[in-house]
Amino acid sequence: MFRIAIRAHFDAAHFLRNYPGKCAQVHGHRWEVEVCLKGTKLSAAGMLVDFHDLKKAVKQIITDYDHCLLNDLPEFGQKKLNPTAENIARQIFLKVNNVLKFEEDTGLAWVKVYESPDTWAIYEED
């Protein structure tokens, strides 16, 4: 099994609804995002997926998150979903799956979102 990953970041604010602490107030983070693909077969060029294509897809997705209040985005505001690292990782995972078209033996392994250098969440599907 091969795995490749890229890292990107965005800066955004959020607050947590129904949270009994200071994170209920609007505050910001520099969110780091890692996206990892997995697969068993390489292309004729020896690549699972071109890093350029993966970076472009992730950049396209996180551009909507950059320099905004995450709670105002439809996936968080309209659904009343807290923009936690866990939920952001899941949303990015779903969006990457919609943007990239994978070969039969290749897919998304996981998405990891860092809220700070020491705290992160991973979303993956079985």
User: Tens digit of pLDDT for each residue in 26-62?
Assistant: 999 999 999 999 999 999 999 999 999 999 999 999 9
Domain total of the chain: 1
* The one catalytic residue among 27, 52, 67, 103: 67
What CATH number should be reported for the domain holding residue 44? 3.30.479.10
Question: Could you confirm whether 36 is annotated as catalytic?
Answer: no
What domain range is 107 assigned to? 2-123
* The one catalytic residue among 23, 32, 75, 86: 23
pTM, to two decimals:
0.95
* Predicted confidence pLDDT, tens digits, the chain (126 residues): 999 999 999 999 999 999 999 999 999 999 999 999 999 999 999 999 999 999 999 999 999 999 999 999 999 988 889 999 999 999 999 999 999 988 889 999 999 999 999 999 999 997
* The one catalytic residue among 14, 29, 34, 115: 115
Question: Could you confirm whether 68 is annotated as catalytic?
Answer: no
DSSP-assigned states of every residue in the chain: -EEEEEEEEEEEEE--TT-SSGGGS-EEEEEEEEEEEEES---TTS-SS-HHHHHHHHHHHHTTTTTSBGGGSHHHHTTT----HHHHHHHHHHHHHHH----TTEEEEEEEEEEETTEEEEE---
